[in-house]
A and B are shown apart, each in its own frame.
Chain A
């Protein structure tokens, strides 16, 4: 058996002295342990902690100071919170939360530190080696002219007439960022793909697709950006991943074939499932989001999954679940990591096929888009039908004998870009909205295929401009006079709720949000 890898992060201030004492005394520190000295355990963000696991660590110990002894005051508390959230995520991923442990030692407690390390090594030995296969760092390949020329023709960029309709619609441009789709297209055509401004602009785009909708020459700008990101990533240019790339790390980790993800262990017991069913409910990443944003937003996007399943049960549909369900890979594809996207896609399609599934039902617009559209487009054949839960629910309601309880709220709706614009189906959620028995429903100024983005896509490029875009969107929502903002994508909810935390204008833009699936599930009734 290969030697275990245990990473020990030690705070500079307290326990590092203890570790040094052990080293000076020649104590038998387990050889698996590799020590990394850090300034404070509170600075080890969730993504940094996770990065160690992504790179193949079998165990990670975060050793800092006692809560009262922290040099910076709140470091230990922050670390405790991060470790707790990370352990939850490791459990979901099937790695096991026990692989991450936090401890606190004073400088003179070297014996206790040694005992801790020996004990932790034993624990990791019983859990065994991590199934994660670290991604091999490839030598960067400079973006060659031919590859770019292929992209220009594939997405019809040369058809750009420089008319400017894209810039006048682009939400990023309108938020004041020096960015314009057509300028970027022009720069790449002119052979300026390597310049810094071009590189930055490739990561500024939200890939919301509004420019594609407006373009009289049908230049597929979002598709172009997606492939440009791939080319730039391969050339070693780092992307502007939000949350320090945590979610991308998480997805890359899931490409390890032997990783046994444990996605569904938390489900309430009243959900009825049929493990041998031919219909599969595909959840998406909501449980990870909830764990990650627990301390920050307190969101509960996994309620969408529970409500979806309850809704299916309501119609006597008992779906199967894939316990080892991995991420669909949508965000990897759209943040320039096509190689790992393909790995995920193959693993997912194989797992679904092995279970003999004929239809996959999902409530996430991005999973829907990826499974039904991106997989075949990227060369992964999909031998099953993909259905958005709205389609299924609408068909079931059309059969009749179903009504809705009164909902004393005035609604407005945030379109998910993947469903409303890229898949061109803005009427689908509206069919359900019309059926609800609410006080009223008012559309926002920009809606349907013209709707404004929630501010981010594929966890890329969150900045002050996207924040101002979100504020603009929330002001539009407020202007409808509604009191419940309905969303249809967990990410819209996360991003808009984040913008509502603004300390200066929170009172102006705060609004309750709820997912459409949840509203339907909570008000639907047999008549």
Chain B
């Protein structure tokens, strides 16, 4: 770890029931238990967690965390349009926005970087729509590198219901592959490589 303070405020939002809080738990636990950093998780609860926009606030840092709420997210993950609308005003110019490609239409948004992944569709292709959060976690791990791949993978296996580990790990892997491919595609674009023959 560099001596510079490494602090990342991460806000994950979506519908209640999408597994937003579980995704937050996995990210936070991967950072603290796996990567030996400090992390906190604050989850929204109340009526909104039962169908409305729900959110999980994760903070990862290499020093003590004094305030557990996200003020301006470094990374905003949106798995529903409602979640995006509710929290978009918090975005900074350097924030990274990650959305579910089919569920969120961000329109014009001012922030550092925007990534989109068809997480729900990919989870459906794997046979279980409810794994969209795990696909998203895999994608998140690949594009932000806020947590290491190994710890995230271990936490996914430890956090999902017993008996579904293999399926969830394949969902995680799929999201991660998609993230790696997206980054590769961007790199190629910078290198002005488009196709295989041109």
Report which A residues bind B (CB closer than 8 A). 307, 310-311, 313-314, 316, 396, 398-402, 405, 520-527
Contact = CB atoms under 8 A, between A and B. Distances in A.
B181 A307 contact: no
Given A316-B184, A401-B184, A401-B185, A525 B195 contact: yes
A271 to B, nearest CB: 11
B178 A310 contact: no
Contacts of A311: 196
B90 to A, nearest CB: 28
Contacts of A314: 193, 195-196
B35 interface: no
Contact of B196 (A399, A401, A522, A527): A522
Name which of A316, A401, A521, A524 has the most chain B CB atoms within 10 A of its CB.
Answer: A401
A307 B185 contact: no
Interface string B162-178: 00000000000010011
Nearest to B195: A525
Contacts, number: 52
25 contacts: A307-B196, A310-B197, A314-B195, A314-B196, A396-B181, A398-B174, A399-B178, A399-B181, A400-B177, A400-B181, A400-B182, A401-B178, A401-B181, A401-B182, A401-B185, A402-B181, A405-B195, A520-B196, A521-B197, A524-B196, A525-B195, A526-B185, A526-B189, A526-B194, A526-B195
A179 B184 CA distance: 56
A399 B180 contact: yes
B188 interface: yes
Interface of B: 117, 174, 177-178, 180-182, 184-186, 188-189, 193-197
Nearest to B191: A526
Contacts of B197: 307, 310, 521-522
A311 B195 CA distance: 9
A316 B178 CA distance: 15
A526 B186 CA distance: 8
A527 B180 contact: no
B181 A523 contact: no
Contacts of A525: 194-195
Contacts of B182: 400-401
A104 to B, nearest CB: 43
A313 B174 CA distance: 22
Name which of B181, B184, B185 has the most chain A CB atoms within 10 A of its CB.
Answer: B181
Top 3 A-B residue pairs of the complex, sorted by shortest distance between their CB atoms? A400-B178, A526-B185, A314-B196
Contacts of B196: 307, 310-311, 313-314, 520-522, 524
Contacts of A400: 117, 177-178, 181-182
Name which of B186, B193, B196 has the most chain A CB atoms within 10 A of its CB.
Answer: B196
Nearest to A314: B196
Name which of A307, A399, A405 has the most chain B CB atoms within 10 A of its CB.
Answer: A399
Name which of B174, B182, B186 has the most chain A CB atoms within 10 A of its CB.
Answer: B182
Nearest to B118: A400
A522 B195 contact: yes
Nearest to B180: A399
B142 to A, nearest CB: 10
B178 A526 contact: no
Given A316-B184, A526-B185, A526-B189, A399 B177 contact: yes
B137 to A, nearest CB: 16
B76 to A, nearest CB: 21
A269 B77 CA distance: 44
Given A311-B196, A400-B177, A522-B197, A527 B184 contact: no
Contacts of A527: 185
A527 B182 CA distance: 8
Nearest to B182: A401
Name which of B184, B186, B197 has the most chain A CB atoms within 10 A of its CB.
Answer: B197
A526 B188 contact: yes
A314 B198 CA distance: 10
A392 to B, nearest CB: 13
B115 to A, nearest CB: 10
A479 B185 CA distance: 39
Contacts of B186: 526
A314 B191 CA distance: 12
A527 B193 CA distance: 11
A402 B196 CA distance: 11
Contacts of A399: 174, 177-178, 180-181
Contacts of B180: 399
Nearest to B189: A526
Nearest to B139: A400
Nearest to A522: B197
A313 B195 CA distance: 10
